[in-house]
Amino acid sequence: MRKYADLAMIGIKEHTAYLNSVWANFLSKIVYLYMQFSLWNALFSSNAGRVIPLSRDETIRYIIVATLISTFMKCDVIAWINSQIQSGDVANQLIRPIDYKLMIFAKHIGTSLARIVIYTLPLGIVISVFYHGKIFCEEQLLYGIISILLAYMIQFLYSLIIGLMAFWLIVTWPLNMLLAAIYKLLSGSWIPAAMFPEFLAAINAFLPFRAIYAIPVTIITTPMSFENLCENLCVQLIWMAALFLLSEVCWFVGKNKLVVQGG
């Protein structure tokens, strides 16, 4: 376990190495949240009298929690794996006496911990200063934390699978850009999933994206029955299991088909 803890520390140090970048990222998150506030307030003001699935307060709570979660949910695994395969360093990593996937996961955890301290907590303080409304549904907070942990695993496994595609594609950034746009829309990180049109909601029900943001954010911000809580958590568990199995298949086949660019 010590070696994985050391890898997590490497992730922390790498993310905090450039302070100017840290400050720029933090300020960008404040600007992003302010823009979200302004956008949704303008939309609700211009659509007064129309039936909207969520109220103004519900939407504001949603975007606050979604933004807070996004500060540490971001996953750099795709870029890490792609870089190692392009450079050929993955060959050296594979011969080390350490599980490659766990190595990536440990580094990812370290990066996420750094982001929680640097971005999530300070942003939460800023929000508490300027927004005095109720944000969390206290009765469901424990379920929300469990849901966030499941979402974190789903996000990692999804990113791992896309990253492992580099065994076949060598360069995955075009695929990543395409899927990132779809992911950000359908996951509910930009727009509450409850506001999706029916056809989009029907499609999204068969995809893992809503399990990353829409489900945990809704659990934290919206009161629901125990049955609905269990149903949402089960959806996340199913997707986590499915993505884990798929990642294992991709890893097993991919490492036997390793083609390193330039070598």
Q: What is the pLDDT of residue 49?
A: 58
Q: What is the mean pLDDT of residues 152-179?
A: 81
Q: What is the pLDDT of residue 95?
A: 72
Q: What is the pLDDT of residues 68-109, one digit of tens each?
A: 999 998 888 887 887 777 777 776 777 777 788 888 888 888
Q: What is the mean pLDDT of residues 186-193?
A: 84
Q: What are the sequence ranges of the domains in the chain?
A: 2-255
Q: Is pLDDT above 80 for 23?
A: yes
In the structure encoding, which two tokens stand for residue 96, read together? 């080390």
**Contact yes or no for 41/56 (Cβ under 8 A):** yes
Beta strand spans in 152-207 (E): none
Q: What is the pLDDT of residue 147?
A: 95
Q: Is pLDDT above 70 for 194?
A: yes
Q: What is the mean pLDDT of residues 9-24?
A: 71
Decide which of 175 and 134 is more confident.
Answer: 134
Categorize the per-residue pLDDT at 242 as very low, low, confident or very high, splitting at 50, 70 and 90.
very high
Q: How far apart are CA 179 and CA 181, in angstroms?
A: 5
CB-based contacts of 75, cutoff 8 Å, min separation 6: 108, 155, 156, 159
What is the rounded average pLDDT for all residues in the chain? 83
Q: What is the pLDDT of residue 102?
A: 85
Q: Is pLDDT above 70 for 51?
A: no
Q: Is pLDDT above 90 for 251?
A: no
Q: Is pLDDT above 70 for 30?
A: yes
* pTM of the entire predicted model: 0.87
Q: What is the mean pLDDT of residues 232-256?
A: 91
Q: How far apart are CA 247 and CA 252, in angstroms?
A: 8
Residues in the chain: 263
Q: What is the mean pLDDT of residues 209-219?
A: 92
Q: What is the pLDDT of residue 219?
A: 94
* DSSP 8-state assignment for residue 187: T
Q: Is pLDDT above 50 for 2?
A: yes
Q: What is the pLDDT of residue 145?
A: 94
**Cα 34 off chain centre by:** 20
Q: What is the pLDDT of residue 172?
A: 66
Q: How far apart are CA 196 and CA 199, in angstroms?
A: 8
Q: Is pLDDT above 70 for 10?
A: no
Reduced to 3 states, what is the DSSP secondary structure of residue 228? helix
Decide which of 247 and 25 is more confident.
Answer: 247
Q: What is the pLDDT of residue 259?
A: 47
